[in-house]
Amino acid sequence: MSSYTAIVLAACIPAVATVVGFIVTYRLNKRNFEQEVIKAKRNIQLDKIDDLPHEILSYIDLVNEGFSDDMEKEAFIEQLRSKGKPMQSKIIAYGSKDAIKLLMQAAELGREYYEAPDDAKDKKLIWKHDACNVLLLCQARYDLTGIETNPEFWYRIRRPYYIGKEDGFIERNNKIVKDLNLNNFLLMK
């Protein structure tokens, strides 16, 4: 090997190594940056909905309290809307596909129930509405934490009289889960 070739190789090898190192570093930094951007977006989304399960619980409690003799039906419906609209907006903007399906089902059932004349109200509609809201609570918790919670836990704590006493309750819950093609952890046994 001539001295000229040795000088060229001595100059080129470090230059090529530097260029290759730069390219590798650039690609790694680009990938890390993209992952950090995705993580930041996810954190913003989580910050927006971190209190969503509590809002759903408050809404369920309000729905189940119903309107009293002191409160006009219209005032109660307005109270439901004022509490439900922000919650619904968060679910529509940041919720999973399953959460949005449950929200649509619950809204449809609630509207059908509250728009019916008092003498024609079907009690099973409100039970389905309640089931959709509880499923929505479990789904929101899953979306936020990844923890699968069966709706039966909620009923055993908040509505122990539902379990075993109301005919078709478990079947109604499971029908909603199957009809909306939701996760199997929401099925009650």
What DSSP letter does each residue of 25-70 carry, written as one string? HHHHHHHHHHHHHHHHHHHHHHHHHTTHHHHHHHHHHHHHH---TT
Query: Is residue 75 located within the same domain as residue 19?
Result: no
Query: Is residue 43 located within the same domain as residue 80?
Result: no
Which tokens hold the place of 60?
Answer: 């369920």
Q: What is the pTM of this model?
A: 0.75
Query: Is residue 119 located within the same domain as residue 169?
Result: yes
Distance from C-alpha of 43 to C-alpha of 37, rounded to nearest angstrom: 10
Query: Is residue 174 located within the same domain as residue 81?
Result: yes
In the block, tokens 């449950």 appear at 102
Query: Is residue 68 located within the same domain as residue 43?
Result: no
Query: Is residue 56 located within the same domain as residue 45?
Result: no
| pLDDT tier, 74 (very low <50, low <70, confident <90, very high otherwise) | confident
For the chain, what is the largest distance between any 2 Cα atoms, rounded to a whole number of angstroms? 105
Query: Is residue 168 located within the same domain as residue 108?
Result: yes
* CA 165 from centroid of its chain's CA atoms: 30
More confident residue, 69 or 97: 97
Taking CA atoms, 159 is separated from 59, 126, 134, 151, in Å, by 15, 14, 11, 11
Across residues 103-125, what is the average pLDDT? Answer: 83
79-108 confidence digits (pLDDT tens): 888 999 999 999 999 889 999 999 999 999
Q: What is the pLDDT of residue 127?
A: 83
Q: What is the number of structural domains in the chain?
A: 2
Query: Is residue 139 located within the same domain as residue 59?
Result: yes
Among 49, 66, 88, identify where a domain stops: 49
Residues 6+ apart with CB under 8 A from 76: 66, 67
Query: Is residue 18 located within the same domain as residue 99?
Result: no
Q: What is the pLDDT of residue 27?
A: 92
Distance from C-alpha of 90 to C-alpha of 55, rounded to nearest angstrom: 10
Which tokens hold the place of 29?
Answer: 């930094």
Average pLDDT, the chain: 86
Domain housing 116: 51-186
Query: Is residue 81 located within the same domain as residue 146?
Result: yes
